[in-house]
Amino acid sequence: MEYILAPSILAADFKNLGCEMKKTEEKGAEYLHFDVMDGMFVPSISFGMPVLASICGATEQVMDVHLMIKEPIRYIEDFKKAGADLITIHLEACEDVHATIAKIRECGMKAGLSICPETDTEELAPYLKEIDMVLIMSVHPGFGGQSFIPESLSKIRRTRQMIAEQELSVDVEVDGGIYLTNVKDVLDAGANIIVAGSAVFKGDAGENTKNFMEILKSYE
């Protein structure tokens, strides 16, 4: 299993974003996490297709796009054109989850499915065979800098168990409140893709990425 770091640019200083992205790439972060928020599914508003299009050519990293928006099926083609490689949607935000996943695949991208902290892990079961990745939110989506919800560890373990029971090859990504001090707990629970925002971009992004990667590589 490959262990991957996905720095979340939501926490980055946009005055120096290109340089910061490059630091994370050079130190081994294979993904770049791109949080899209619409002010409806979550209270905050972030950024969208024009920003993604402007940065995707500045790095070879996988553009890991997390759509925290209502009915994301409306924008799948637009995000593909903007440079998305992997799109994660929220189970809670879609009227037809199957159709939305199918749309992502039709556009030639990998598909991820996320659940909020309040959503039961078992609700993922009908979709596991259709997706490449599950994203477990370990904070409430929409705000940066929150503390990790400890109950998320049992959700990660159960998700990994469900994937194994169906004999599938599905990544488990975790997003929210992850730092060098608790990342091993998340990995031990079964995650293999780690989203980190403040923990990477507050301070030296290159050094922080290097420290995360040393831990992740020790699990391979």
List the beta strands (DSSP E) in the chain: 4-7, 31-37, 62-68, 86-90, 110-115, 133-137, 171-175, 193-196
The answer to whether 188 is a known catalytic residue is no
Question: Chain-centre distance of CA 184, in angstroms?
Answer: 18
Q: Are 168 and 190 in contact (CB under 8 A)?
A: no
Specify whether 35 is catalytic. yes
Q: Which of 13, 35, 132, 188 is catalytic?
A: 35
Triad 37, 176, 44: Cα angle to 5°: 25
Given the residues 13, 175, 188, 204, select the one marked as catalytic.
175
Contact by Cβ (8 Å): 130, 107: no
- What CA–CA distance (Å, rounded) separates 160 from 49? 32
Helices then strands (H, E): number in the chain? 8, 8
Q: 71: Cβ–Cβ under 8 A, 6 or more apart, which residues?
A: 93, 94, 95
As annotated, the active-site residues are 35, 175
